[in-house]
Amino acid sequence: MKPVNVHRHARQYGLFDRLIMAADGALKGLGKRPSSGMESPAGDLTEAAMSAAEQRESAAMMRVNHTGEVCAQALYSAQSAWSTDPAVRAMLDTAAAEEMAHLDWCAARLQELNSHPSRLDPIWFAGSYAIGTGFAALGDAWSMGFLDETERQVVDHLKDHLGRLPRTDRRSRAILLEMQRDEARHSASAVRHGARTLPLPVRLLMQGQAAVMKRIAARI
């Protein structure tokens, strides 16, 4: 018996399927949803005393990271909807579940810091979904290249935040460290699934867009 070629029989999504997936991604990224069930790395770490300025600084950084996870839900949803490779879709679904946990952790930490998510999250989601769709429509190699570059930049961003967090904010630090490890794995996974290196101008444009988003999300 000949082995079944799963790529030949992979389901091809139509416009209605993709609209449903977009709505599902929006509900997960922006709406009320069941908990991911993944315990926060902050665990039972004691909340240390912080000054009002330190608390505001931590909250601004966690708001940016929460927005990043909203964007991740949009990107993964769009990329999965357009992928023609079942292995790529499975990888995206697994990564999206981990990103959902990150979203939960950041949301909970914002509450602990008496703060709130960015009020512009719906705009960030819509923009990210459009960008993810654009790259995914070019094919899985470009989609994975975009994912690889995105996660590389996120790892660097988290390194910057870890260096800027107030020393006493152990709970936020634990969350960001776990997120950084996960994002590095997602980058490596994208490479294993055929990521194509993006041209330098595209990578620089992505950095510029991310810088604008971070600056605004930290404040609004």
Number of domains the chain is built from: 1
Report, in angstroms and rounded to the nearest whole number, the Rg of the chain calculated over CA atoms.
Answer: 18
Ranking 88-97, 145-154, 196-205 by mean pLDDT, the lowest is 88-97
pLDDT tens-digit map of 138-152 = 999 999 999 999 999
Establish if 9 belongs to a structural domain: no
Yes or no: say if 117 and 170 are a contact pair by the CB < 8 Å rule.
Answer: no
Task: Judge whether residue 217 has pLDDT over 60.
Answer: yes
Establish if 39 belongs to a structural domain: no
CA dihedral 179, 152, 148, 87 (to 10 degrees): -20
Residue type, 30: L
pLDDT tens-digit map of 152-186 = 999 999 999 999 999 999 999 999 999 999 999 99
Establish if 176 belongs to a structural domain: yes
- Residue 8: its pLDDT value, please? 41
- Residue 63: its pLDDT value, please? 96
Establish if 76 belongs to a structural domain: yes
67, with CB counted inside 10 A (0-12, 13-18, 19+), is buried
Establish if 111 belongs to a structural domain: yes
Two tokens, residue 141: 């190699």
- Residue 136: its pLDDT value, please? 87
Two tokens, residue 190: 């994208």
Establish if 43 belongs to a structural domain: no
Question: Of all residues in the chain, what percent carry a pLDDT higher than 70?
Answer: 83
Write the CATH number for 86.
1.20.1260.10
Distance (Å, whole) CA 143 – CA 88:
10
Containing structural domain, residue 177? 15-28+61-217
Establish if 52 belongs to a structural domain: no
52, with CB counted inside 10 A (0-12, 13-18, 19+), is exposed
Task: Judge whether residue 125 has pLDDT over 50.
Answer: yes
Task: Judge whether residue 69 has pLDDT over 60.
Answer: yes
Averaged pLDDT, 64-84:
90
Averaged pLDDT, 184-191:
95
Establish if 54 belongs to a structural domain: no
Q: Who wins on pLDDT, 1 or 66? A: 66
